[in-house]
Amino acid sequence: MTKYKDVFLINRLGGFLFLIDRILKHIAYNNPWDTHLFANGYIGWQYFANVGIAFSIPLPQIVLLLATPILLFWIYKQTNTQSLLAKIAISLIILGATSNYIDRVFYSITIDYIRLFTSIFNIADIMVLSGIILLIKTSKYTA
């Protein structure tokens, strides 16, 4: 029974972050001129239509649209034999990448809205990066 409680908790946490990200993306997309910056412009809210992947690295849209579901399916298949922390990491990666994938399908961009220094990103990006870091930390190959 504990196994199912763990999976339920993982899905609720990831689902909550996914929902918040989708709401904030909707707000940013529909109000692109609405910018709120603090600390001399280093922190705040700013809409950015990201045509690339992480760090705005350019990749052809067709490659992203075809490769993402394949990669996410492969990552999902890794959840069967992993620890609870690894399952949380994989859930964060899948849900964050799915949120950004939805943007690509509907808008041909990823909607970013959190400004930190010279970068603009979103909660989905934080989910993916956190999941990758957590997965590396739980990997049996790390010292």
Residues classed as catalytic: 112, 125
Phi then psi dihedrals of residue 40, to 5 deg: 60, 30
Rounded to whole angstroms, the Cα distance separating 94 from 68 reads: 10
Query: In Å, what is the CA distance from 23 to each residue of 3, 16, 72, 79, 106?
Result: 30, 11, 22, 28, 15
- Alpha-carbon distance 40 to 131, whole Å? 31
**CA distance readout (Å), 24 to 14, 29, 44, 125, 133:** 15, 9, 13, 13, 24
- Whether residue 123 contacts residue 21, with contact meaning beta carbons closer than 8 Å, is answered with yes
